[in-house]
Amino acid sequence: MERMKMYWLAVCLMLACAEASKILVVFPLPSRSHGNLGDGVVKHLLNAGHEVTYISPFPYKNAPPTLRTIDVSKNFDIMPMDIMSIKTIMDSRISLDSMGFMLYMMVEMMRHTIQTEGVNKLLNDPKEEFDLVIAEWMFTDVPAGFASVFDCPLIWLSSVEVHWMILQLVDQPTNPAYTVDIMSAYTPPLNFWQRANELWNQVKIKFLNFVWLDGVQERAFNELIHPIILKRGRKPPTFDESRYNASLLLSNAYISTAASIALPQNHKFIGGYHIDEEVKPMSAELKKIMDNAKHGVVYFSMGSNLKSKDMPEELKKSLLQMFGTLKQTVLWKFEDKMENLPSNVHILDWAPQQAILSHPNLAVFVTHGGLLSTTESVHFGVPIIGIPVFADQFLNVVKAVNKGFAQRVDLSYSMADKLKEAIIEVTSNKRYAEKAKELSLIHHDRPVKPGVEMVHWVNHVIKTRGAPHLRSPALHVPFYQKMYLDLAAVLVILFLAGRVLLRKICAAVCSKKKSGSQKKNN
Ligand SMILES: *[C@@H]1O[C@H](CO)[C@@H](O)[C@H](O)[C@H]1NC(C)=O
């Protein structure tokens, strides 16, 4: 009996060991929200028993023995997040809309990442092996090189709802007649001009890639990745062979808010996976404030990159004054000291956001509309007021407004009055809160939780060595074949040739007739 038990124990251990894989997780962007998404992936992989190596600019506290972090915090040097203060953006001293600049920056960031000492050592050590690479896709395909170095499957993780630029890596670009670009503020159904605009946008970026950015990426790939693979004694793949080779595309979104479009089989929604199953409790002090808020709580946070303390002075003052006139309790995530606070306003230099959002007294969340914040508001069923500042925040807020659980207020020096109106509207009109609850229900009504879904597909890709059966047949069919342009060309040629032939025949017949009748006349 005892031996039987030992036997089963051994079998279980073997199975457990067999299931543990070595996974490289690549999230080098020096931005807290992207760091949170990377941390979420790592958390689930570790819980599933995998051995994780994590390239991240954020040091990990209390790393378990199965986690090794490779610090790329030097990336902060080339991506000075402090230029992105609310004031500089308001005074528009920097343009964040320039797609070309953004894509270029991202390639530079990847170059910097690969050249960082720890990463360089990892890549150049022939003893290092991985079963899988999971990399965040952030406007550059260069991270595909990690999987090529270790000759293993690649999974892209999209920090935002998937869009045409990333889908073309595993399937094909979406149709701009009914899907919009990640930076677009339109929501389908599109009118004539919007449709034309979306098409123009795709054409423009494709053109930019063709004449400039693909070259920049390819040079970086050849220069950084090729020598490493050669050193490992293999023939380096071309950049295209590497970047169009992903097994899976995970997207940090869910159809509660994402567009319900046809997607390839190797795309999986895992939106919400970064949110802890059990919300960490807030401090007793904060809990007391929220518990005692008779008229509800307004929670105001501009996220982790944008700091409220960097707002222009006059804006800070007018907001504070306006908050003082509200009957609700206001929690403002503000990273500095503030004098003369009205009695209903409380400043938090760090906010336990998920705990606040899950509190029943929360009436509205005033946010910059970052994807994590909007995802969390849907997760907890809280209506929002969005003040978008840059990048996908406009789209997130527009979508939330169209979904019916949000109001939008534009960032400006004089926005306090508008914000007050919006707060009154959202807290007094029940429809916003009801809609948020309804979307929350959709968001949670899935067969399994997003973290479980992610681990399942990660394991599936490892078990099936890259899940080739999930790949879209559209990926390697060129545009002209999809559009049957070759067939059209053949038909046109046949038609033209036919016409020429007919003319010739006709001419021959006619001239015979003519000459025949001429003969008769003679
Ligand atoms: C392509 O993916 C497969 C697994 O799906 C992997 O074994 C191979 O090394 C990859 N090739 C390149 C060039 O990345």
CATH of the domain at 167: 3.40.50.2000
Distances (CA, A) of 138 to 30, 141, 156, 444, 522: 12, 8, 10, 27, 86
What is the mean pLDDT of the segment spanning 129-148? 97
Q: Grade residue 150 by pLDDT with cuts at 50, 70 and 90.
A: very high
202 and 93 in a common domain: yes
Residues in the chain: 522
Atom 13, ligand 1: which residue's CA is nearest? 242
Q: Which of 156, 245, 470 to mutate to test the pocket of ligand 1 (most atoms within 8 A of CB)?
A: 245
- The structure tokens listed for 264 are 């390839």
90 and 233 in a common domain: yes
For ligand 1, whether the C-beta of 276 sits within 6 Å is: no
pLDDT digits (tens, 9 = 90+) for 37-90: 999 999 999 999 999 999 999 988 889 999 999 999 999 888 765 556 777 667
Domain that holds residue 179: 2-275+449-476
Whole-structure pTM value: 0.89
Structure-model confidence comparison of residues 12 and 138, the more confident one: 138
The per-residue pLDDT for 516 is: 61
What is the mean pLDDT of the segment spanning 187-206? 94
211 and 74 in a common domain: yes
Burial class (CB in 10 A: 0-12, 13-18, 19+), 437: middle
What ranges make up the beta strands (E) of 335-448?
A: 345-348, 362-367, 384-386, 406-408
% of the chain residues with pLDDT over 90 = 75
What is the mean pLDDT of the segment spanning 491-497? 97
pLDDT digits (tens, 9 = 90+) for 220-244: 999 999 999 999 999 999 999 999 9
Distance 170 CA to ligand 1 centre (A): 13
* Structural domain count of the chain: 3
The per-residue pLDDT for 93 is: 53
The whole-angstrom distance between residue 99's C-alpha and the CA centroid of its chain comes to 16
> Residue 98: is its pLDDT beyond 80?
no
- The structure tokens listed for 41 are 């992936």
What is the mean pLDDT of the segment spanning 252-259? 92
506 and 385 in a common domain: no
Question: Could you tell me which of 440, 295, 326 has the C-alpha nearest to residue 382?
Answer: 440
Q: HSE on the CB side for 13, CA within 13 Å?
A: 6
Q: Grade residue 102 by pLDDT with cuts at 50, 70 and 90.
A: confident
356 and 250 in a common domain: no
86 and 44 in a common domain: yes
507 and 409 in a common domain: no
Contact 105, 79 (CB under 8 A): yes
Locate the ligand 1 atom nearest the alpha carbon of residue 151 and give its number: 9
The per-residue pLDDT for 83 is: 55
223 and 150 in a common domain: yes
Question: Could you tell me which of 275, 204, 235, 256 has the C-alpha nearest to residue 440?
Answer: 256
The per-residue pLDDT for 470 is: 98
The CB density around residue 9, as the number of other CB atoms within 10 Å, is 10
For ligand 1, whether the C-beta of 266 sits within 6 Å is: no
118 and 257 in a common domain: yes
Structure-model confidence comparison of residues 183 and 205, the more confident one: 205
Q: What DSSP string runs through 214-234?
A: HHHHHHHHHHHTHHHHHHTTS
For ligand 1, whether the C-beta of 148 sits within 6 Å is: yes
177 and 55 in a common domain: yes
- The structure tokens listed for 415 are 């926005």
> Residue 187: is its pLDDT beyond 90?
no
101 and 43 in a common domain: yes
Taking the C-alpha atoms of residue 362 and residue 358, their distance in angstroms, rounded to an integer, is 8
Q: Grade residue 419 by pLDDT with cuts at 50, 70 and 90.
A: very high
Q: Grade residue 17 by pLDDT with cuts at 50, 70 and 90.
A: very low
For ligand 1, whether the C-beta of 147 sits within 6 Å is: yes
242 and 328 in a common domain: no
> Residue 319: is its pLDDT beyond 80?
yes
Q: Which of 26, 149, 154 to mutate to test the pocket of ligand 1 (most atoms within 8 A of CB)?
A: 154
pLDDT digits (tens, 9 = 90+) for 273-313: 999 888 999 999 999 999 999 999 999 999 877 778 888 89
> Residue 95: is its pLDDT beyond 60?
no
Distances (CA, A) of 285 to 188, 289, 306, 328, 347: 45, 7, 26, 18, 12
User: Average model confidence (pLDDT) for the chain?
Assistant: 91
The per-residue pLDDT for 371 is: 83
Question: Could you tell me which of 389, 324, 379 has the C-alpha nearest to residue 356?
Answer: 379
% of the chain residues with pLDDT over 70 = 92
The per-residue pLDDT for 79 is: 74
